[in-house]
Structure 1
Amino acid sequence: MNGVSHGTLLEGFRGLTNATVALHERGMPRSPHARKPKTGGLRRMIALVTAAAVMSASLPVAAQDQGKSSKSRLVPVRDAEIEELLRDYTAPIFKAAGVRAGATEIVLIRDFSFNAFVANGQRIFVNVGALLQSETPNQLIGVLAHETGHIAGGHLASTRQRMAEAQTRAIIAMLLGMAAVAGAGAAGAGNVGAGATGAMLAPQAVAKRDMLSYVRALEQAADQAAVSYLAKSGQSAKGMIDTFRRFADQSMFSARYSDPYAQSHPMPRDRIANLEALAKKSPSYNKADPDILRYRHAMAQAKTIGFLKDAGSIARAYPSRDTSMPARYARAISAYRFGPVDPAIQQIDQLIRQEPGNPYFWELKGQAYLEGGRPREAVAPLQKAVALAPERPAALIRIMLAQALVATGSYKGAIAEINRAMAYERDVPAAYRVLAMAYGRTGDNARADVASAQATFREGDIRLAKQLAARAKTRLPTGSPSWLQADDIVSYKPPQMD
């Protein structure tokens, strides 16, 4: 990933994936922004690297396409356009499940395997590989419905409780077994060593099988819930079944020789058969995805490839003979990333002429200028993008606009944009970095320290954050909003691990 110009922590969404998307003009759905049948949407991606420990995944994992997966370190990928698409995918599912949309966060992860999982209570993590390998919106929607089933069922909390109970039972059984072995030894019984080994291992094996059986039951419950949510929202469960069937085909050989009880999910054949029988009862089973969702899905795939793949991979996925909008979108992104600014702007302007109402094309134009070292020219297209985008996705664009405004000396304007962005994006370190820079340039060093403390705190450098916040407190009126923000950081104590 490249850093955006002018020293901020905003990072461009760079390099990615494993599904080659060759979409052609014929049969492509029509964009809502188009004058003619095409669209594009480019939104800048801000990547935030965050170390996080996650629970287990609830879907099988496909092979990595580019080297190793970051299992111990999740790398979230931020993008206004794609996040808005995922919110649109999940909105009817959440409503059917009775899950409050505002309380559930969808996090896109830079991992090229097909996976999605629930962690940290109300967060659904979705690998970019799931987006890229889903041939239709319905396939990804089905996966999201399954994960929603875990959230609505409270499966994460119940699994923790079950694990604690299983561990307690295993320890008690092991202690009782060891006591029996000790008694046998005192009585002079032979082969005490083998008995001791069995006394230790048997309870652990029982506990493991108990947990795996419990997890299989949760997976089946999530499957059934997903089918119910899809039916209630008038959508088909066929995409989810197609996805599971694909993974079942991939794992058939190894599964044939494995212990059925060692499987953490229901047997693929049984799982798919049960799902299909249930899903076919819905009148929406054969319902196709709306054209606009198919179009936006294809554009999101093209955007991801355009930003995360190298130039050669992009050219192979979207050769020049492919004149579809997704292909043109990916090539325009590639042109700005790997070539001079002006030729890239020409391609982006062609997209804008095709869809003047698409905010993400305007955003791409602004990003190309900004990262090309021409922030003054970036301001107008970014302002246009903010004006056209819905308020929620516009928040991320405002952060980039604020960066351009700082670079051109419009510090008060930058502060205003960041403050508006904060209504939705309070945990983006890059936003606080831009805010700190704007305050610093205006001579408000106390608020600059507070903003820097907020940024470093969210990046995990608690010690430095406390130092900056403490310094800020000495320069601010006691009890003022900024003083209170600094005091919160100074007073912060990490949660104690049980």
Structure 2
Amino acid sequence: MASCLLMLVGWAAEAQSIIRDAEIERGLRELAAPVLRAAGLPASTRIIIINDRSLNAFVADARHIFIHSGLLMRMEDPAELQAVLAHEAAHIANGHLSRRPANARSARSAAALGLLLAVAAGSASGNGELGAGIAIGTNSSAVRVFLAHTRAEETSADQAGLRYMVQAGIDPAAMLSVLDLFRGQEALSTGRQDPYMRTHPLTRTRLRNVQAFVNGRSGTAEGAESTPEARYWFARINAKLSGFLNNPAQTLRRVGRRDEGEIATLTRAIAYHQGADASRAISEVGRLLQMRPNDPYYQELQGQILYESRNFPQAVRAYARAAQLAPREALILAGHGRALLAADTSSGNAQARTVLERAYARDPFDPRMLRDLALAYARGGNNGMASVVTAERYAIIGRMEDAEIQATRASGLLPNGSGGWLRAQDVLRVAEIAQSRRNRR
């Protein structure tokens, strides 16, 4: 825990928010799986969406791939998303990150770069909700240097990514479609370019090489259509993103009210919810559950809408069903615990602590879950553990002085050597190191 918290020390001047949503993360895992297998990367490699309308994707370490929501929402086919993932996976597999430590040491905001890694480990908050934020300094010049690739690395990643796509049965022509999004930007000033261009130089030679690979490919993947499963999850991801991130009225006009298909119904449910029309939102979710009664993510969406409409007893039931269907989904467990706390009954508060402890065991870096777990401990009279998780939450969001205060308080309330006491010592060590770093600047 201490080493993970240490990566959170420091904040960049400009911040963006991470999108955490169990349904979207499931879809990303489904789409990434064949690419990661082809690249020889572990299935645990995580795909993180940053809530940013600009077009960008990057890697910050060997375990996480970041993609902007703006780029994802510009794509029209799952193969295009898989092309981006294949390219970024190639940067990892080809060892292009090995030169990064020298860059990080020379960057004034190197501590903020570590934040990227910790955020990817799960430090952003949210439960079935989009846009729950934590700071990431991807706009600072130091971070751009850290994330930038050379032209040789870009060519290498293109060729390796194309091979991964063919091996996974994905049409490599999708990479051309992605590069076409950036065609012509090399002529723009740096300030007008999408961030992707500033870290992934696009040259005519690079485009020609990709085109030559596609033209010369006679393998089975050439011209292959995305699988129905890939199209399905890609559609669900985009429905969730567009429903939550776009203007509700515009979304409803685009989707229409007569399309009774699953994806249109999902999009309308979210748009109605965003437009504060809870009755219609619940009605649309009801249709989704008629289509897929055992879908945990639709149960979770129902729980979220009910919770945010302050119908806490029904929200508890919806989240409980979602957690029953997906007992390993930390974000769903966190939502269930949050709804139980909102209902505020003695039995519900005790159950909330148990549920939130299960969420913590699967994702201990979710600030919102930590806030709720602290409340559950406090309501149960365990102020020592409430202070521990509050200290961890403050450390994760960069409030190190407050983290130190809470950790010191926890140390005095908990038995020496106990698990909670040891976690408090971890926070105190991180706070001490953070102070040393500030003093050296």
TM-score range, shorter chain: 0.7 to 0.9
Q: Cα 1:341–1:84, aligned 2, differ >3 Å: closer, same or farther?
A: same
Conserved? CA contact 1:472–1:486, under 8 Å: yes
1:270 paired to 2:205? yes
Match of 2:330 among 367, 392, 395: 395
Match of 2:60 among 112, 115, 119: 119
Distance 2:14 2:258 in 1: 41
Conserved? CA contact 1:51–1:74, under 8 Å: no
Distance 1:482 1:214 in 2: 42
Tell me the alpha carbon deviations over residues 386-416 of structure 1, each in whole angstroms, 9 at most, x when there is no partner. 222372xx21011010011112221221111
Match of 1:380 among 310, 317, 323: 317
Matched AA of 1:309 = N
CA displacement at 1:306 relative to structure 2? 1.1
Q: Cα 1:101–1:316, aligned 2, differ >3 Å: closer, same or farther?
A: same
Describe the SS at the equivalent of 1:289.
coil
Q: Cα 1:332–1:163, aligned 2, differ >3 Å: closer, same or farther?
A: closer
Match of 2:31 among 84, 89, 92: 89
Conserved? CA contact 1:244–1:268, under 8 Å: no
Superposition pairs of residues 362-373 of structure 1, within 5 angstroms: 362-373=299-310
Matched AA of 1:146 = H
Conserved? CA contact 2:27–2:236, under 8 Å: no
Superposition pairs of residues 300-339 of structure 1, within 5 angstroms: 300-339=237-276
1:419 paired to 2:357? yes
Match of 1:152 among 93, 107, 118: 93
Conserved? CA contact 2:24–2:236, under 8 Å: no
CA displacement at 1:283 relative to structure 2? 2.4
Q: Cα 1:223–1:476, aligned 2, differ >3 Å: closer, same or farther?
A: same
Tell me the alpha carbon deviations over residues 275-317 of structure 1, each in whole angstroms, 9 at most, x when there is no partner. 1322424321211101121122112111111112222222233
Conserved? CA contact 1:436–1:449, under 8 Å: yes
Distance 1:383 1:302 in 2: 24
Matched AA of 1:235 = I
Match of 2:140?
A: none
Match of 2:74 among 120, 130, 133: 133
CA displacement at 1:52 relative to structure 2? 5.6
Matched AA of 1:230 = M
Match of 1:292?
A: 229
Q: Cα 1:252–1:339, aligned 2, differ >3 Å: closer, same or farther?
A: same
After the TM superposition, which of the residue ranges 303-312 and 434-443 deviates more from structure 2?
Answer: 303-312
Conserved? CA contact 1:215–1:265, under 8 Å: yes
Matched AA of 1:245 = D
Q: Cα 1:119–1:264, aligned 2, differ >3 Å: closer, same or farther?
A: closer
1:236 paired to 2:171? yes
Distance 1:464 1:162 in 2: 31
Match of 1:176?
A: none
Match of 1:251?
A: 185
Q: Cα 1:385–1:214, aligned 2, differ >3 Å: closer, same or farther?
A: closer
CA displacement at 1:136 relative to structure 2? 0.4
Matched AA of 2:92 = I
Distance 1:283 1:421 in 2: 43
Superposition pairs of residues 190-205 of structure 1, within 5 angstroms: none
Match of 2:420?
A: 482
Match of 1:177?
A: none
Distance 1:397 1:139 in 2: 29
Match of 2:387?
A: 449
Distance 2:266 2:37 in 1: 33
Which runs of 5 or more residues in structure 2 are unaligned? 1-7, 107-145, 190-196
CA displacement at 1:230 relative to structure 2? 1.4
Conserved? CA contact 1:453–1:468, under 8 Å: yes
Match of 1:432 among 345, 366, 370: 370
Q: Cα 1:336–1:159, aligned 2, differ >3 Å: closer, same or farther?
A: closer
Distance 1:74 1:331 in 2: 27
Tell me the alpha carbon deviations over residues 333-360 of structure 1, each in whole angstroms, 9 at most, x when there is no partner. 1222323433322221111112212211
CA displacement at 1:51 relative to structure 2? 8.0
Superposition pairs of residues 19-168 of structure 1, within 5 angstroms: 72-102=14-44, 104-158=45-99, 161=102
CA displacement at 1:417 relative to structure 2? 1.3
Match of 2:136?
A: none
Q: Cα 1:214–1:77, aligned 2, differ >3 Å: closer, same or farther?
A: closer
Query: What count of residue pairs does the alignment treat as equivalent?
Result: 377
Conserved? CA contact 1:51–1:72, under 8 Å: no
Distance 2:405 2:257 in 1: 54
Match of 2:150?
A: 215
TM-score calculated relative to the size of structure 2: 0.79
CA displacement at 1:231 relative to structure 2? 2.0
After the TM superposition, which of the residue ranges 267-276 and 283-292 deviates more from structure 2?
Answer: 267-276
Matched AA of 2:391 = A
Distance 2:418 2:50 in 1: 38
Distance 1:424 1:451 in 2: 15
Same amino acid, percent of matched pairs: 34
Matched AA of 2:21 = D
Distance 1:150 1:451 in 2: 36
Conserved? CA contact 2:80–2:174, under 8 Å: yes
Match of 1:466 among 404, 407, 410: 404
Conserved? CA contact 2:249–2:271, under 8 Å: no
Distance 1:343 1:304 in 2: 19
CA displacement at 1:144 relative to structure 2? 0.7
CA displacement at 1:233 relative to structure 2? 2.1
CA RMSD of aligned residues (A): 2.8
- Which structure has the highest helix share of the two? 2
Work out which of the two has the higher radius of gyration on C-alpha atoms and give 1 or 2: 1
Distance 2:327 2:176 in 1: 33
Distance 2:321 2:198 in 1: 52
Conserved? CA contact 1:112–1:128, under 8 Å: yes
